[in-house]
Structure 1
Amino acid sequence: MLIGRSRELARLTARVRELAGGRGGVTLVDGEPGIGKTTLLRAVCDAALDNGSRVFWGAGDELGQLLPLLPLLEALRAERSDEGQAVLRLLRGEVPTVVDPTAVAAERVLGMVEELCADGPVVLALDDLQWADKVTVTVVSRLVKLVDQLPLLLIGTLRPVPVRDDLALLWRQLGADGQVSLGPLPADAIGELVAALVGAQPSGELLTHAEGAAGNPLYATELVTAVAGGAARPGSLAAAIDHRLDFLSEQTRHVLRAATLIGVVFSVADLGVVLGRSVVELLPALDEAIAAGVLVESGDGLSFRHGLVRSALYERMSPPVRAAWHLEAARLLADAGAPVERVAKQLLVSSGHDDWTVEWLCDNAGALIGQSPSAAVDLLRRVLGAPRWGPRRLSLASRFADALYKTGDFDEAEQIATRALALSADPVQIVWLHHILLQCRSMSGRVAQSLVELDRALSDPETTGRVRARLLVLTARAHWNLGDADAAEKAALDAADAAPGDEWVVGWSLHVRSIVLIGRGNMSAALELLDHAVRVIGRDGATAELSLLLRINRAVALGGVDRCDEAVAAARDVRQLAEHVGNTVRLAQAQSALVQLSYDSGCWDDALVDVDLVADELKNPVVAACDHGIAALIQLHRGDHVAAARHLDIARASGAQLGERSVLQLVLLTGLELEQAGRPADALAALRGSAEDDVLPEIVRLAMAVGDLDTARTTTERVVALAADSEVRHRIGAAAYCRGLVDGDGEELLHAATAYRECGLPLARAKALEAAATAFVHNGQSSSARAAASRALDLYAELGAEWQLARAQSSLRGLGLRRGPKVKHRRAKTGWDSLTPAEATVAQLVVAGLSNPQIAERLFVSRRTVTTHVSHILAKLQVRTRTDIAREASLRQAASG
């Protein structure tokens, strides 16, 4: 019964009408418990159904806050679809190769929503978001960014308390246009509500009673119902609800108390398991509760009419009774084969720390950690709280440390792992605990401590065979983290010698040896090791993640020896594999390798798309700094400082966690910013000291520009030494470039440009040609100067490097060289002419009415790629929705005749 909310309803039904026209939207409704949020939400959903939209309803659950995606999976009826079943299998740990099942499940839920929207307008209603898990809120936040691309109306409700940072951020993300706050109903609306409840004009006494509800419609309803039934006026909302419940039979109240253990929304099947009764036996009690207005239908199950109704029943039970009943419910559900999340939901609020709980965790901790490390931490902390650990509890200690590490509690993870290591005699567990300790200490800069402990373990004469080999692998990784490449290489070789038949050991040994070679600049030798590793290391089981890492490094090494096409193909292959198996860490790294390759090869528009394909929250700081550093470099080269600023902020925030000089892109960014600010000497100072291939030629160029010949010559000697006996074309080109700059030799600079062309580095080639033009002018070779200058300017224009183009034109004009007629016009930054070829193709398919998933299938690209393209198209066309793209296309066609 919706009374007194006509203004809010009109606002939201206007959104429903817009949705029918293809325009998505989002609204959050907040207000105190019982104020009418759910009633308003239901009214909007009814209007949407009448308007031809499909409605999907889910709700947060106070008992399931630590379990991911439950409200969305409920709304999308996951158990009914193949894709939904796949998501549930991920979350239940039934897909063992998935490293981060929650992140993969979140991506698939986003895909499910997009697939639904492909078939027409959708309303996604999410009630009680204050009880939703953090992953659900993250997915909702990402959906908010997609409503301009989809026929999706996203509506959620939440209470203003408890205050949560993620929900507060989501609320602010919407702005006033997406916020609806429900306050108390005015007195006339309360009078109308009372009249509707009693079916007649209410008496003054009844209205006086209703005024005590302070404008809360739920309280008013329960209060009036109680008083009209002859009871004394309840003193609170809880007392009013209790009065309604008191009219139910004891048998029905018992069934309802059991239902409160499951949640506001519950399945009748689960209720039958908890009570040990069949559905037929439960029907009389359920029918009575529905008739009394305590329960309502909800999807495939039932729900309490309001969360406060459930709370009233739940709170009537004493805490010890509730806790014991939850534990019993967990056992019964587990015996009935219920999935991990349903059993864990009961254990989280139970008194469970008994032997049965320990046994259940021994069997299910891995799946629970994959799905919800926070829930696992809660349960494992409880069972490991005993002063002494028996064998079974000790076996859970490493699981506990792993869960703590995954929740970011590195200090406690280290404490638990250290205690377990002192007690454990299981060799496999010992290796795993050392692994956890190394990970934790690498986060706090105390890897040296792990190295001491690893050396101590290796000095034990009983440490032999496979265990010794695996500890040597960890030792090699520790040495590498500490910057001791020689020691890392030796430990890696010793590990392979100690267990040549252990695929895990061999793979990690090859990995460490290859990154040592990459660090030394010996890409060819590294590539040989990586080629071997990829051949011998499988993709399943314990080496699945390692296989991905080796393949990513191989793609990087291929790029390092100028086999660019192979590098791109290899990076795309590993990206697809990482996405398939759900390894978001390796997915982000593979994507980052593609960003770098696209930048190097001059495919800057592709690089800018690729930077946004993987959400930043799925990237580690190194990857985020590299990706956004490259995007910022591109935008600075193009002279777009506004676009560069967003990427600069993210890159530097990520780099601050690492030390900016440890990230090549941030070093280059600093130099370019200072140079653009007219401070070449400071730019040189920022780059000096780096030994990276990409930085050394820039040091020589800037040194020559400021007259620092000593630095230019010394650095050139280093570049030439790197190129000696090398077949790598970019190093040969760099040596020729630096020699040509120092000697003022135009022919040598042309040789550099040729080498850069052969290895596909257009920006470096343009700089070499520009420098050659300058040298030819000084040497009186005007014809050669004009040819080199013209090609350099062409290349800058083709890249869209507007700042570089303007700088080069100014410099060359000063030498008497003017821009030739072949140079392209400045590229448009907005409108249809600003679209890249890929964006133009996607825009045509949007105009044709294809959905994002359909476009992805047509173009053989990922859904993420299409989503990012559409986002860029909307920004460039300066429109809001996909419908607007089609309208703009029609207007453009009409204008062109």
Structure 2
Amino acid sequence: MDLVGRREALTAADEVLASGSGALVVEGPAGIGKSRLLKEAAGPARARGMAVAYGRATELDRVAPLSTLLRALGRLGEPPGGFDALGWAAEVVARAARAGPTAIVLDDAQWADELTCLALRHLIHEPAGAPVVWLLGRRPFPAQPAIDALVSDGARRVPLAPLGEDEAAEFCARLLGARPGPSVLNLARAAGGNPFLLEEALNGLRAEGRVVVSGGVATIEGAGPASSFGAPVERHLPAGFGAAVERRLRDLPAGTRRLLEAGAVLRRPFTVHEAAGVLGMPPGALLPDVRAAVRAQALVEDGDRLAFRHDLIREALYDGLPAAVRAALHREAAAVLRLEGSPAAELAEHLRHGARAGDVAAIRELRAAAEDMTAAAPSAAADLMLRALELARPAEPGTPAARERQGLAAGVVRLLASAGRLAEAREVADAPDAGLGPAEAAGVTLGLAEALKHAGDDHGVIRRTGRALERADVPVRERARLLAVRAHALMTAGEIDAADRAAAEAVAAGEPFAQVVGLQARSVVALTRGEPREALEHARRAVALADAAGGEAAHRHPRLWLGAALTALDRLEEAQEAYAVVGRESGRLGTAWSSPLLHRFLAGLLLALGRVDDAAAEAEAGLRVARRLDAPALSPALLGVLGRVALLRGDRAAARAYVDRGRDLAGDGPGLVAVELRWRRLLLGPPPAAVQDRSSGAPERAGDEPPWGGALAYLVGQEPWEAVRLRAVPGVRECLRDLARRNPGVASLVAAAAHAEGRLEEAVELYRTAPRPLGLAAALEEAGRHAEAREVYAACGLTGRPTSGFAGGSAGGGEAGGGGQRVDRWGWEALTGAELRVVRLVAQGMTNREVAAALFLSPHTVDSHLRHAFAKLGVNSRVELTRQVLAHDHPD
């Protein structure tokens, strides 16, 4: 039967398909027609010559990482195991896009697993311009924040409303072949305009012989003024649907009903063998019941498996089971699946619903399954661990179940925190539990502290770890870990000496995780004190320990801090190599948390190298990733990078907006990021009177503290040539001189010290030996060698007439502060050098990953360049982009 009442939705799908890229999210309650609409939309997609990949999530997908996406993309290539499956998915989509326009359909996306949802947020928007259309169908419940974020990011949302009265009447007429009478229309109203529910009810009544057609009008025999359905309500199943299913299936043999109940509990397409195992019967004995269920249109064949014709039927049967029967069937399902060698996560999901309190085997299996899926699906893993904790908590002290409880609370807190469920993590952490020993109590605090750290709540970390460390009975291992995490919070909060003491104590304990995390903190402390060589030694030691220990120590990615130390020492190529390793390892280990941090470090490195456009694209990509991962703590630092780039381009208003946004997020306390943003703000205009140099003629108020506390060496060392612009500020010139004296092998520091002292020709020659071209350009500009300065600025992607940003030596002198204006333009001539490099490689057929590898960029940064190029060229696909490249590079 043709779709009724869905013309606008079909038009929306057709428009997205016609655009050649983007995403459409079809949303509505169960039975409203989402699946039918997606299948209808796939027809025009094929007619346009698009390849169509189709996948449908099941309720068990949530515990099977990337299962939903792999099911849809599997026809395009054989998926690998492990976390590389995410990279494989990106490559498969890129290859499909190169082969031609592609439509990827994912139905029932509300059940999609966490890793699929994370992948979707990347794949749908990147690579930019790829001829790939995504069509998603989902129910409003259970909520799926990742798909909500897709809509926020630009995916088109198409809500399917219930059929109106006229549409419902047309639907009934088409189904029954006659005009609906009042009793039929009453039934349609009671069904709430839900097409599937209405169709099931009418087919059931027709099968009972209660639909009578007379004079071209269809009526329901025995129907009163209102149907038996009652008013619809907001719930997962439409109101009255359970009763409708019961009527449809009540005449089936008892054995067939038991088969359907077993299938409902299995919660996915199932084999006859599995259903027979759950029911304790030989598979052959079930064959008559299978045939009866298929004839009744309750089940359909799905390859070598059986599936419910609609998931609503399965849900209605499942919800109708008495709780005791449902739990017993789940226990039987777990036993059968264990023998079948099914995935541990699926087995655990049945144990979650069927295990009894104190069941030691169930607790162990739930825990093991949660540990297996922690990296890819922390929220689903947390649900399993929460159930294990529930099963273990009633146990008497000294019993096996009580012993199994050890470590569960800490694990639950860590998982809830890593899944972003901080309120629940706090609730578990703060729950009174006399059974917790010192080690587990410390572990609970540690799990929550790490979550608070990633959320940017450093003071919460300091508070909680401080309370935990006051206990004298905290074991050495847990104490060391608490100190290591506390050290990072203290460091970020600006308590540098306290951070170093905590980190040193953590390292001295000899526990690998604590050593790696503590050494990372000590490396940052050393940079803050202007000791980059010591920072390098700490970072190198952390890398060696993490490589040797593996596991959670390796998951901390100490090469991030190694790269920062190498950058401070002007060893920029080695820093590039360190960051490249982090990029590869984070994909292999599934440590998505590190991605925004890597973007931040890479953006700073690219700016040091003078690759201004690449630095901006890297920072933009970092902000997008931080938003998608709901990791706001790093956004202020990334905004600071964009502020630096805008100032270099001469756009002081944009620079001020970026920095002010960052300051709003970071606050105005003593924290390292807040201090850095105050430093950036100072670069945008004349220093306030409170910090003016006495030689400038402005008074300095007595008793004022420097606005950067003890972090001046860190700020100056990040980009020494920039600090020269603030040489009139008290302490800056002296700090540059001191850093150069202590680090004579760091050419950028020595050059900047000479620059700050006004020894410009010496500074120019010293900058020529350093790898930071923007410092050279600034010194040339101030020395009046404008033509040479313009050449260096142009090589860095900055065009226009150099300004007098350094001529007066003040923080606010000049309009652009170096490099001149970059006027927004359109067309081929508006492309920057970085954008040209990217589009030319893309035109050769390279994927984002291949371009990234060729140019030492992240795939996200390549995508940022492509977005800018598309906007400037007025194109929205790679095909159009390639035509532009060919037209301009090969005009003949």
1:179 aligned partner = 158
Match of 1:783 in 2: none
SS in 2 for 1:34: coil
Matched, 1:57 2:78: no
The normalised TM-score by structure 1 is 0.79
What is the TM-score when the length of structure 2 is the normalising length?
A: 0.79
What are the Cα deviations for residues 255-308 of structure 1, in whole angstroms up to 9, with x where unaligned?
111111133655656545434556655444333333322233457744322232
CA distance in 2, matches of 1:634, 1:752: 23
Partner of residue 416 from structure 2, selected from 404, 419, 422: 404
2: CA distance, partners of 1:650 / 1:289: 61
Question: Structure 1 575/723 Cα, relative in aligned 2: closer, same or farther at 3 Å?
Answer: same
Q: Is the contact made by 2:722 and 2:775 (CA closer than 8 Å) also made in structure 1?
A: no
Match of 2:750 in 1: 732
Q: Which has the higher helix share?
A: 1
Residue 372 of structure 1 is aligned with which of 357, 361, 378?
Answer: 378
Q: 8 Å contact 2:713–2:739 — kept in the other structure?
A: no
Decide whether aligned partners of structure 1 residues 484 and 856 sit closer, same or farther in structure 2, where only a CA change above 3 A counts: closer
Q: Report the equivalent of 1:392.
A: 404
Closer/same/farther in 2, CA of residues 847 and 761 from structure 1, 3 Å limit = closer
Preserved CA contact (<8 Å) 1:687 1:699: no
- Cα 1:657–1:850 change in 2 (3 A) is same
Shift of 1:739: 1.9
Aligned residues: 826
In structure 1, distance between residues paired with 2:491 and 2:806: 46
The correspondence of residues 598-637 of structure 1 with structure 2, limited to 5 A, is 598-614=606-622, 615-616=625-626, 617-618=628-629, 620-637=631-648
Q: Distance in 2 between matches of 1:449 and 1:159?
A: 40
Is 1:757 matched with 2:768? yes
1:527 to 506, 511, 536: 536
Distance apart, 1:450 and its partner CA:
3.1
Q: Separation in 2 of the partners of 1:273 and 1:641?
A: 71
Q: 1:347 to 1:408 in 2, by over 3 A?
A: same
Secondary structure at 1:296 match in 2 = strand
Stretch deviating more after TM superposition (57-66 or 877-886): 57-66
Q: Assess if the C-alpha contact under 8 Å between 2:570 and 2:748 holds in 1.
A: yes
| CA-to-aligned-CA distance 1:415-438 (integer Å, 9 cap, x gap) | 7568899756687x6774564365
> CA 1:290–1:74 in 2, change beyond 3 Å: closer, same or farther?
farther
Report the CA distance shift for 1:666/1:7 in structure 2 as closer, same or farther (over 3 A).
same
Partner of 1:220: 198
Aligned to 1:96: none
Return the match for 1:874 from 860, 870, 878. Answer: 870
Identity %: 28
* Distance in 2 of aligned mates of 1:858 and 1:242: 62
Q: How does 1:689-704 map to 2 (within 5 A)?
A: 691-692=712-713, 694-695=715-716, 701-702=725-726, 704=728
**1:879·1:885 contact (CA, 8 Å) conserved in 2?**
yes
Q: Which runs of 5+ in 1 are unaligned?
A: 91-103, 705-710, 741-747, 774-787
Paired position in structure 2 for 1:359: 364
Distance change >3 Å, CA 659–CA 145, structure 1 → 2: farther
Q: Which residue of 1 aligns with 2:391?
A: 383
User: CA 1:290–1:806 in structure 2 vs 1: closer, same or farther (change >3 Å)?
Assistant: farther
Aligned-pair distance for 1:38? 1.8
Cα 1:179–1:681 shift into 2, 3 Å: farther
CA separation of 1:164 and 1:651: change in aligned 2, threshold 3 A: same
Distance 1:266 1:652, change over 3 A: farther
Q: In 1, distance between residues paired with 2:489 and 2:387?
A: 32
Q: 1:57 to 1:288 in 2, by over 3 A?
A: farther
Cα deviation, residue 313, structure 1: 1.7
Aligned pairs for 1:106-185 within 5 A? 109-132=89-112, 136-146=116-126, 149-159=129-139, 167-171=147-151, 173-174=153-154, 179=158, 181-184=160-163
Question: Residues 404 and 412 of structure 1 are in contact (CA less than 8 Å); yes or no, is this contact kept in structure 2?
Answer: yes
SS in 2 for 1:286: helix
Matched, 1:792 2:772: no
The answer to whether the aligner puts 1:718 opposite 2:697 as a matched pair is no
Distance change (3 Å), C-alpha of 1:849 and 1:496? closer
Residues 1:827 and 1:411: Cα distance change in structure 2 (over 3 Å): closer
Work out the CA distance in 1 between the residues paired with 2:500 and 2:148.
49
Match for residue 312 of structure 1 among 316, 319, 328: 316
Deviations 1:48-104 (A, max 9, x none): 4465544333334456657654433433349x9643x41xx45xxxxxxxxxxxxx7
2:659 corresponds to 1:655: no
**Aligned mates of 2:468, 2:162 — CA distance in 1:** 61
Q: For 1:556-602, what per-residue CA distance to the aligned partner results, in whole angstroms no more than 9, with x for missing partners?
A: 11111222222222322333333333323344433422211111221
Question: 789-798 vs 651-660, which deviates more?
Answer: 651-660
Task: Name the CA shift for 1:274/1:755 in 2 (closer, same or farther; >3 Å).
Answer: farther
**Counterpart in the other structure of 1:545:** 554
RMSD across aligned C-alpha pairs, in angstroms?
4.4
1:538 Cα offset (Å): 2.5
Q: 2:650 aligns with which of 636, 639, 643?
A: 639
Change (3 A) 1:861 1:116: farther
Change in Cα spacing, 1:660 to 1:806, as seen in structure 2 (3 Å) is farther
Q: Of 824, 827, 834, which aligns to 1:831? A: 827
Q: Could you tell me whether the CA contact under 8 Å between 2:659 and 2:681 is conserved in 1?
A: no
SS in 2 for 1:548: coil
Between the aligned partners of 1:288 and 1:205, the Cα distance in structure 2 is 34
Q: Per the alignment, do residues 649 and 314 of structure 1 end up closer, same or farther by CA in structure 2, a change over 3 Å counting? A: farther
CA distance in 2, matches of 1:164, 1:586: 23
How far 1:643 moved relative to its partner? 6.8
Structure 1 residues 414-423 or 274-283, which shifts more?
Answer: 414-423
Question: Does the aligned pair in 1 maintain the 2:162–2:192 contact within 8 Å?
Answer: no
Residue among 659, 662, 677 paired with 1:666 = 677
Three-state SS of the structure 2 residue aligned to 1:261 is: helix
SS in 1 for 2:472: helix
The CA deviation at 1:475 is 7.7
Measure, in 2, the Cα distance between the counterparts of 1:395 and 1:160.
36
CA contact (8 A) 2:781 2:804 kept: no
Residue type of the alignment partner of 2:307: S
Question: Which stretch shifts more, 862-871 or 602-611?
Answer: 862-871
Query: Where does residue 743 of structure 1 map in the other structure?
Result: none
Distance change (3 Å), C-alpha of 1:63 and 1:216: same
- 1:645–1:576 distance in 2 versus 1, CA, 3 Å: farther
Q: Report the counterpart of residue 577 of structure 2 in structure 1.
A: 569
Per-residue deviation, 1:732: 1.8
What is aligned with 2:779? 768
Establish whether residue 445 from structure 1 lines up as the match of residue 460 from structure 2. Answer: yes
Q: Which moved more, 1:47-56 or 1:519-528?
A: 47-56
